[in-house]
Structure 1
Amino acid sequence: MGVTDLLWDAVGSYFDPDVMGTLPDVRVPNASMNDWQAVLDLVAEKGWKCQYTEGESVLPVPGADAVLSRPSDAECPSPRVWPADDVVAIFRFRAADEVDFDVDVRELQGQERLDVFCGFLREIGRRLGKPVLMGPEGDGGHPILGFDVEADRVVLLADPQVSD
């Protein structure tokens, strides 16, 4: 039995596509190119299935510096990472200063999937020593939940009065 950060009964409503959108935004603010590379290294170390694409081409995963220094009009790469068979995170290399990815809430239904997701956020947050925040799709506003570095676990941040 792994660590349970959040209880499905308490947070399941935040995994409703009508509430969060189908692909809520997950991000690590105040990141760097080194953080992006650390995430790519973590994926490789953990042996998580990963598929890196640029447009329609499936390619080997390059270094973060190569991806982030591409011309602005190049195809946006989107590495897909599966921390579990039925759970995928789609990373977006939009900016060096924010590690950014989407998850599909339809894949995160129930305690078991929630535990996988929290474990994924925890691994990234521990590796980077930074918070990993999830908020509504396209919102860019207040995160609903995230990995708290000091607590060393994923916590609910749903109080809209809390600023980041």
Structure 2
Amino acid sequence: MGGLLWGEVRDLFDPDVMGAPPDLQVTGASAADWQALLDLVEESGWRSRYAEDGTTVPSVPRAEEALSRPVDTGPELRVWPADGLQAIFRFCTPEEIDFDVDLRELQGQERLDLFCDFLSAIGRRLGRPVLMGPEGSPGRPVLGYDPGLDRVVRLPEPPDG
């Protein structure tokens, strides 16, 4: 997939600079979008594991069911779109698909390409941007899948203030 070059975005994947795992999200979502994500995981053949209260559940429930669980039970879906690349989705609210990745798993051009392919697959399925920003900094995305361009791009830094 054409687009990002490691040398141009390396700073966004530096764990020492970015700190904690970045926040990734799809805003303006719905339970139907969550279900589309679950369907994508299954159709893509990505390895996954669903858990509640830290206990693995043998099969992934429908999105509406997972979203109806109390947040304090920690319903989460771990997805491995490639060996050594894990994304953790947390079912907190239907309106926002939140997930995390480990920046240490995303070092170098090959890993960046896998990550961009993953974000693009999600964005295409949902027809929405998939944004990445520093943890705890909502509204300050630094990278994301742009549906209009059909690729992942580095986003301009917001003005100070």
Instruction: Assess same fold via TM > 0.5.
Output: yes
Q: In angstroms, what is the RMSD of aligned CA positions?
A: 1.4
- Which residue of the partner structure matches residue 63 of structure 1? 62
Q: Aligned partners of 2:147, 2:2: CA distance in 1, in Å?
A: 16
When normalised by structure 2's length, the TM-score is 0.94
Question: Which one of 78, 93, 96 corresponds to residue 95 of structure 1?
Answer: 93
Q: CA deviation at 1:120?
A: 0.4
Q: Does 1:16 align with 2:33?
A: no
Partner Cα distance (1:46, 1:94) in 2? 24
**How far did residue 145 of structure 1 move?**
0.3
**Is residue 32–residue 97 contact of structure 1 (8 Å, CA) maintained in 2?**
yes
Matched, 1:125 2:149: no
SS of residue matched to 1:10 = helix
Residue 72 of structure 1, CA deviation: 4.7
Q: Which amino acid aligns with 1:6?
A: L
The alignment's TM-score, normalised by the length of structure 1, stands at 0.93
SS of 1:150's partner is: coil
Shift of 1:159: 1.7
Q: Which moved more, 1:6-15 or 1:135-144?
A: 135-144
TM-superposed deviation, 1:31: 0.5
| Count of residue correspondences | 159
Q: Distance in 2 between matches of 1:56 and 1:130?
A: 30
Partner of 2:46: 48
Q: Distance in 1 between matches of 2:50 and 2:133?
A: 24
Distance in structure 1 (CA, Å) of the matches to 2:38 and 2:118 = 13
Native 8 Å contact 1:54 1:78 kept in 2? yes
C-alpha distance in 1, partners of 2:71/2:53? 14
Given the alignment, which residue of 133, 146, 152 partners 1:135? 133
| Deviation by residue 1:94-137 (Cα, 9 ceiling, x = unmatched) | 11000110000000000000000000000000000000000001
Three-state SS of the structure 1 residue aligned to 2:21 is: coil
Give the conservation status (yes or no) of the 8 Å contact 1:19–1:136. no
Question: How far does residue 18 in structure 1 lie from its aligned partner after superposition?
Answer: 2.2
Q: Which runs of 5+ in 1 are unaligned?
A: none
Larger CA deviation: 11-20 vs 146-155: 11-20
The residue type equivalent to 1:105 in the other structure is L
Q: Tell me, yes or no, if the aligned pair for 1:136 and 1:143 is still in contact at 8 Å.
A: yes
What is the distance in 2 between the residues matched to 1:116 and 1:92?
A: 21
Partner secondary structure for residue 44 of structure 1: helix
Matching residue within 79, 83, 104 for 2:102? 104
CA distance in 2, matches of 1:119, 1:92: 21
**83-92 vs 54-63, greater mean Cα deviation:** 54-63
CA distance in 2, matches of 1:22, 1:84: 22
Percent of counterpart pairs with the same letter? 59
